[in-house]
């Protein structure tokens, strides 16, 4: 296998300031640069996908935390905004696909950065699978005919778990096709889908708040919190918010396809997370206020789908649920696209098996087709776990969060070290001549808090709680699924790096000084 490093690439003559920005890092422009500011925002917002993720994990959060789990949402939002602020600085200085891999490598060394990228891309593939599973929470509630297997549509049942896998595979086939076609087609679908999702989310918030059955004071009630105590219940309840507020870095992933990325990506990273986080909190609050009952058990099992159809009526509820289906499809597409760009970026540097094939870009479509097929097939394979046991739904969902949180910490950690050693510069201008986005004197405290928050949440999410991961008992592998999956991922990475070290000369780490 031939290793390609940034210094080995012979750039084509630059055709625009954006292209020259990329050639300065040693890469030629292959992906088509066609995304504007709204498309960049859509990339981050659609990965977060408020309607997909809130509907997917609301019931779980409420089951463990009760009404007071609402307060985990602003807490997680603040923590993730700290991380996003650090990422915004890096997006301005390194506007390159494969953001996590590129940022970590340039702040530390190639080996550490490789593991950050490796963990991130595996996590993204798991997120793709988790997002596709969300169709089961919505489609059967719209029409029973979508329950193709059995009669019980609950994701915790054997029928529901198997049906979720079938619906997910169908969706993955469609998103893989779009990811092969053309980035302009992908961008149009993303923008239309995100617009529909935002409109739908605002309508859901307004309708739920106008159908309130109780006051916001209910969010201070601790009834329904798990037996592990209030703090323990909130730690588990925070899984829902943690799952929702990931993927804002996608605007950075799409930098090589974005006009004026140094100026655009930092802003869209922060705006996408802020807008999604605010909408998510309002939807959760609306659901708690409008639910017919907080104690009849429906909210902890059927979640927000139950609230919409029971409080707003079947007609309006199903129309809104149809909008959620659009959001799920667009989210799955966006997450798969982000994973494709990570694979492409690492392969372009010769850092993966079959790198030449994975790094090949179709000159007509501007899309790396092989990564799309790899991500689609691997995500579909993960869905097969759902045929084996309903517990796989939660295992897949929490595992992907842990993988991404750990990868994020593998960026904020080296960034903090770089700041403390005085190696991280805040100088430079964007494509318009304005100063690059910078945290200034707040850089060190914000960065330190972002790292501490990320590490705390990684441990919290990965902790093998039997009551969470194996409530029925008898499935120890689901209780330790996240830890085992992460361990296997690292072992495979070590094995590949060892094999690669014996067969090729390791390239130098990418230059750490921003350009």
DSSP characters over 167-198:
HHHHHHHHHHHHHHH-HHHHHHHHHHHHHHHH
The whole-number pLDDT of residue 390 equals 65
Mean pLDDT of all residues belonging to the chain: 87
Average pLDDT over residues 91-107: 95
52-96 per-position pLDDT tens digit:
889 888 988 898 888 999 999 999 999 999 999 999 999 999 999
Instruction: Give the list of residues 6+ apart from residue 340 with CB closer than 8 angstroms, or none.
Output: 179, 367, 368, 371, 372, 375
Q: What pLDDT is stored for residue 511 in this prediction? A: 53
pLDDT at 24 over 90: no
Q: For residue 14, is pLDDT > 70?
A: no
pLDDT range class, residue 226, cuts 50, 70, 90:
low
Q: pLDDT tens, 111-151?
A: 999 999 999 999 999 999 989 988 988 899 888 889 999 88
CB-CB neighbours of 296 under 10 Å: 11
Q: What is the pLDDT of residues 233-276, one digit of tens each?
A: 888 889 999 988 999 999 999 999 999 999 999 999 999 999 99
Mean pLDDT of all residues in 448-456:
97
How many Cβ atoms are within 10 Å of 91's Cβ, its own excluded?
Answer: 32
Lowest-confidence pick of 19-33, 47-61, 333-347, 362-376:
19-33
- Rounded to the nearest angstrom, the gap between the alpha carbon of residue 484 and the centroid of all alpha carbons in its chain is 21
Could you tell me if 368 and 360 are in contact, meaning their C-beta atoms sit under 8 angstroms apart? Answer: yes
pLDDT digits (tens, 9 = 90+) for 480-515: 989 999 999 999 999 999 988 887 654 555 554 444
Of 317-326, 354-363, 500-509, least confident by mean pLDDT is 500-509
Q: Which residue bears the tokens 């309607």?
A: 51
Threshold 0.85, pTM exceeds: yes
Could you tell me which residues are beta bridge partners of residue 258?
Answer: 35
Q: Residue range 144-163: average pLDDT? A: 85
Q: Which has more pLDDT, 487 or 9?
A: 487
């Amino acid at each position: 296998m031939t290793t390609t490093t940034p210094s080995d690439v012979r750039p084509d003559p630059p055709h625009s300031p954006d292209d020259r920005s990329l050639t300065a890092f040693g890469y030629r422009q292959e992906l088509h640069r066609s995304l504007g500011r709204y498309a960049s925002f859509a990339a981050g917002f659609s990965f977060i996908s408020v309607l997909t993720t809130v509907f997917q994990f609301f019931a779980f959060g409420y089951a463990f935390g009760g009404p007071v789990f609402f307060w985990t949402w602003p807490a997680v939002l603040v923590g993730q905004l700290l991380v996003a602020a650090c990422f915004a600085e890096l997006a301005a200085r390194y506007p390159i696909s494969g953001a996590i891999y590129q940022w970590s490598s340039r702040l530390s060394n190639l080996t550490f950065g490789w593991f950050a990228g490796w963990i991130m891309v595996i996590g993204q593939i798991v997120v793709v699978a988790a997002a596709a599973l969300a169709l089961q929470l919505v489609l059967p509630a719209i029409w029973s005919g979508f329950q193709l297997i059995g009669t019980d549509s609950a994701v915790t049942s054997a029928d529901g778990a198997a049906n979720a896998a079938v619906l997910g595979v169908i969706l993955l086939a469609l998103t893989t096709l779009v990811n092969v076609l053309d980035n302009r087609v992908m961008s149009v679908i993303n923008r239309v889908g995100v617009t529909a999702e935002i409109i739908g989310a605002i309508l859901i918030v307004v309708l739920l708040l106008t159908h309130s059955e109780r006051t916001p004071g209910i969010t201070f009630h601790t009834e329904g919190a798990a037996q592990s105590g209030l703090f323990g219940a909130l730690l588990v309840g925070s899984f829902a918010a943690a799952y929702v507020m990931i993927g804002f870095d996608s605007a950075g992933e799409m930098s090589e396809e974005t006009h004026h990325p140094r100026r655009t990506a930092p802003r869209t990273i922060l705006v996408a997370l802020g807008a999604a986080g605010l909408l998510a909190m309002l939807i959760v609050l609306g659901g708690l206020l409008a639910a017919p009952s907080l104690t009849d058990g429906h909210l902890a099992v059927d979640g927000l789908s139950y609230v919409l159809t029971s409080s707003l009526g079947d007609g309006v509820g199903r129309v809104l649920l149809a909008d959620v289906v659009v959001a799920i499809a667009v989210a799955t597409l966006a997450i798969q696209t982000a994973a494709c760009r990570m694979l492409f970026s690492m392969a372009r540097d010769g850092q993966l098996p079959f790198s030449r094939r994975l790094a090949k870009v179709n000159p007509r479509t501007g899309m790396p087709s092989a990564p799309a097929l790899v991500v689609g097939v691997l995500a579909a394979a993960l869905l097969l776990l759902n045929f084996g046991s309903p517990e796989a739904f939660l295992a897949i969902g929490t595992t992907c969060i842990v993988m991404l949180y750990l990868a994020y910490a593998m960026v904020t950690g080296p960034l903090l070290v770089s700041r403390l050693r005085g190696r991280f510069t805040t100088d430079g201008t964007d494509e318009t001549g304005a100063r690059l986005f910078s945290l200034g004197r707040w850089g060190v405290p914000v960065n330190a808090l972002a790292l501490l928050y990320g590490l705390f949440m990684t441990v919290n999410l990965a902790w093998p709680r039997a009551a969470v991961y194996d409530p029925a008992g008898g499935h120890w592998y689901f209780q330790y699924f996240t830890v085992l999956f992460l361990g296997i991922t690292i072992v495979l990475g070590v094995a590949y790096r060892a094999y690669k070290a014996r067969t090729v000369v390791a390239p130098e780490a990418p230059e750490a000084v921003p350009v």
